[in-house]
With several copies, the nearest count.
Chain A
């Protein structure tokens, strides 16, 4: 419990200091909300809009979660294939790198045209593509980078490639997997959110942010930004908890 408390106060402290500085800056410099809304303004918008915000976060969060799940599964599958077949590795790696470089902004309109814009599908697909690359790259590395002795051990037991995979490569890749997931989780949220900029159902955080920003209602826009930050942190913390829970040996302390 004490441990947990100790891990909470530093970010809270920093947040409080930053927010105070921000508020002070806005008040002292008399910065107008069209430029930079004060935290107090954002907060009042946040709390007055909580209901809508919850609904929007739920919509965008669902998109992000779906995309994260599919993207992760795809990334892992591709990594498994790439590890197993050099040909796949050689073919997929550059493709994945190329695909990863296509900006969401360019991708979304194309996908919106390929899939029904009124559905969630194009947004989930955008998220899948964003999530895929970090998962693929990290998991591939984790699957490949095993200790030579351990590989020899498996070979000496005549483990089939599949068994080597299950008993050695996969557990070895787990810290890499989580590294990838930690990168992918916040990106999934932002992808799901940005995908809403280009039309489609207008109930998510992204739509709300653009609509507020377009009206220079920056207090409201930032309130929604805060909601998306909370959503992103939630995703990240879930991954962290998952790591602690499923792979305790990776987070063992190296110092006594």
Chain B
């Protein structure tokens, strides 16, 4: 039942592999919730995979399991050929959370500097890097403001800048662009693609926007509502993204394919069915 990536991946090329992962919250109690059920997923190195699915289906939970922030109830996780815990300790990934989780007592700039500080960067280098990133998310003006003085979208951008501050081979991003306006969002999408291009990062990306998922991804993983299962994996072949990609026929086809998959209907398009689902 395992989902193989489109290419033939040797072990060294595997960025993330989840096998038979279950996550049950409060097992045995009245408020038991099965968040993940039998998840099999392999992400090859350099691949961009989007997770899409109804609210509460377990996308964040899956990311958190991969990131070793919570333990799977059952099943195995491999990140860059090691266990999730090792990968976390080795800083093999960077994560952008669904909530911005900024520290009120730090200025915007120093929030972005946080991961750099933890990696022992010098003060000056930190500062330069943080300002670079704030420039990128267009918040350089607000570098010395406090997080609670920012709008929701601005806070989210700070969090994005923070997640990009260090340069891990794997990015786990949980609805990072959810609170952004369309223009900013497109800019950020292109920035992300550029970064990926330049660094060859693998990216797992949670979003509710089908066009966004399609535009960014090599594969879109579609999940079903509780209990969260992977119901479809849709490969997207848009080639090099550019201004016209969003207008291309194949783009719309993929969008429709994902939408249909989400609605649980079958569409014959660029879509690989999973097992016997």
Give A contacts to B, CB under 8 Å.
Answer: 147-150, 152-153, 155-159, 163, 167-168, 171-172, 174, 247, 249, 252, 256
Contact = CB atoms under 8 A, between A and B. Distances in A.
B118 A147 contact: no
A154 B70 CA distance: 13
Interface string B101-124: 101111000000011011000000
Interface of B: 64, 67-71, 88-91, 93-95, 97, 99, 101, 103-106, 114-115, 117-118, 146, 148
A226 to B, nearest CB: 39
The CB with the most chain B CB atoms within 10 A, among A148, A163, A249, A252, is that of A249
Given A163-B118, A167-B117, A249-B146, A155 B88 contact: yes
Contacts of B93: 156
A158 B101 contact: no
A148 B149 CA distance: 12
A143 to B, nearest CB: 14
24 contacts: A147-B101, A149-B97, A149-B99, A150-B101, A152-B101, A153-B97, A155-B68, A155-B69, A155-B88, A157-B91, A157-B94, A157-B114, A157-B118, A158-B89, A158-B91, A158-B118, A171-B103, A171-B105, A172-B105, A174-B105, A249-B105, A249-B146, A256-B69, A256-B70
Nearest to B93: A156
A150 B103 contact: yes
B64 A152 contact: yes
A152 B95 CA distance: 10
Contacts of B103: 150, 167-168, 171
B27 to A, nearest CB: 12
A156 B69 contact: yes
A158 B87 CA distance: 9
Contacts, number: 56
Given A152-B101, A157-B118, 16 more contacts: A148-B148, A149-B97, A149-B101, A152-B97, A155-B68, A155-B88, A156-B88, A156-B95, A159-B118, A167-B114, A171-B105, A171-B106, A174-B105, A247-B105, A249-B146, A249-B148
Contacts of A156: 67, 69, 88, 93-95, 97
A157 B115 contact: yes
The CB with the most chain A CB atoms within 10 A, among B71, B101, B146, B148, is that of B101
B70 to A, nearest CB: 4
List the 7 shortest-distance A-B pairs measured between CB atoms, nearest first.
Answer: A256-B70, A171-B105, A156-B95, A149-B101, A152-B69, A153-B101, A249-B104
B210 to A, nearest CB: 27
A161 to B, nearest CB: 12
A110 B89 CA distance: 51
Nearest to A255: B70
A158 B118 CA distance: 9
Contacts of A147: 101
B22 to A, nearest CB: 14
A252 B117 CA distance: 26
Given A167-B114, A249-B146, A256 B71 contact: yes
Contacts of A163: 118
Nearest to B88: A158
Contacts of B101: 147, 149-150, 152-153
A152 B89 CA distance: 13
A249 B89 CA distance: 30
Nearest to A148: B148
A150 B111 CA distance: 12
Contacts of B91: 157-158
Contacts of A171: 103, 105-106
The CB with the most chain A CB atoms within 10 A, among B89, B94, B95, is that of B95
Contacts of B94: 156-157
A119 to B, nearest CB: 41
Contacts of B148: 148, 249, 252
Nearest to A155: B69
Contacts of B146: 249, 252
Contacts of B68: 155
Nearest to B98: A149
B105 to A, nearest CB: 4
A123 B20 CA distance: 65
Contacts of A152: 64, 69, 97, 101
Nearest to B105: A171
A91 B156 CA distance: 42
Nearest to A167: B114
Contacts of A153: 95, 97, 101
A148 B71 CA distance: 15
Nearest to B87: A158
A190 to B, nearest CB: 32
